DNA sequence: GCCAACGTTGGC
DNA sequence: GCCAACGTTGGC
C-alpha cells in the first residue's frame, strides 16, 4: 500500500465538504496536469491512503485522511462543456483525463500546517516542499507516520 | 494582490 | 525539437 497527498483549494472543495458529501466520497476531478494525471492513472491503487491538503488559502495544511475507493475513472468534467475543466480533446472512447474516487477516513486535530512541515527536519525531503505546484504527489511511509505522530486522527 | 516558479502552447 | 510567450498555481 502506498501513501499520497492530494491538494484542493478549500474555498472550492474542503475536507469538510468531503465529509459532508454523499457516502463521504467524491470523484477527484479537474486535474489537468500530466504528471499528476499519470500518478492518478498509473500509480495510485484502490485501498491506498492519502492526505487531504488545503492549498491556496489562509493556512495551507493537511486537514485529513482519505482512502482510495475506485481507480481508472474517466474524469467526467472533461466531457462537460459547461465545466471549467471541459477539454474537447478528451474523447469518450479514449479519455485524456483519468482520475480516482476517494472517501473521507479521518480529520486531523490539529491540522498539520505547511509552516510546521517546513520547520520539521524529518520532512525536508517531502515532495510538497520542493514541488509546490504538483497537485497529486507521493508521500513516503516514514513521512506519513511522522506526520501522524504529530496529531490525532478523528474518525469521520 | 504580488510575483516566483513552472507547465503548456504554438510558431518556426 | 527549440524556446519565447503566455497562463496558472500557490505561498506570502
Domain map (residue ranges) of chain A: 3-148
pLDDT on residue A93: 85
Distance A30 CA to B11 C1' (A): 29
A47-99 pLDDT, tens per residue?
999 999 999 999 999 999 999 999 999 999 999 888 889 988 888 888 999 99
pLDDT on residue A88: 85
A125-153 pLDDT, tens per residue?
999 999 989 999 999 999 999 999 999 99
A52 bridge partner residues? A6, A64
Q: CATH assignment of A3-148, given 2.60.40.10, 3.40.50.720, 3.10.590.10, 3.20.20.220?
A: 3.10.590.10
Residue A34's nearest nucleotide, by CA–C1', is: B7
Identify which has the larger pLDDT, A22 or A90: A22
Distance A74 CA to B9 C1' (A): 24
pLDDT on residue A38: 95
**Contacts for A148-153 with beta carbons within 8 Å, 24 or more apart?**
A148/A108, A150/A112, A150/A116, A150/A120, A151/A108, A151/A109, A151/A110, A151/A111, A151/A112, A152/A108, A152/A109, A153/A65, A153/A105, A153/A106, A153/A107, A153/A108
pLDDT on residue A148: 97
Distance A151 CA to B5 C1' (A): 31
Instruction: Please state, in angstroms and rounded to a whole number, the distance separating the CA atoms of residues A16 and A54.
Output: 11
Chain A 63-102 residues whose Cβ is under 7 Å from strand C: none
DSSP H or E segment with residue A99: strand A98-113
Query: Can you tell me whether residue A114 is helix, strand or coil?
Result: helix
| DSSP assignment of A61-78 | EEEEEEEEEEEEEE-GGG
Amino acid at each position: 500500500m502506498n501513501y499520497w497527498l492530494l491538494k484542493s483549494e478549500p474555498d472550492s472543495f474542503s475536507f469538510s465538504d468531503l465529509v459532508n458529501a454523499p457516502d463521504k466520497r467524491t470523484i477527484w476531478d479537474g486535474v489537468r496536469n500530466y504528471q499528476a494525471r499519470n500518478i492518478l492513472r498509473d500509480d495510485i491503487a484502490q485501498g491506498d491512503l492519502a492526505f487531504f491538503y488545503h492549498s491556496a488559502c489562509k493556512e495551507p495544511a493537511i486537514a485529513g485522511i482519505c482512502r482510495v475507493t475506485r481507480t481508472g475513472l474517466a474524469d467526467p468534467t472533461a466531457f462537460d462543456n459547461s465545466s471549467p475543466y471541459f477539454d474537447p480533446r478528451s474523447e469518450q472512447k479514449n479519455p485524456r483525463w483519468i482520475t480516482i474516487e476517494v472517501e473521507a477516513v479521518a480529520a486531523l486535530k490539529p491540522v498539520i500546517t505547511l509552516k510546521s512541515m517546513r520547520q520539521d527536519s524529518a520532512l525536508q525531503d517531502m515532495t510538497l516542499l520542493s514541488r509546490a505546484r504538483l497537485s497529486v504527489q507521493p508521500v513516503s511511509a516514514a513521512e506519513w507516520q511522522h506526520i501522524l505522530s504529530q496529531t490525532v486522527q478523528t474518525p469521520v
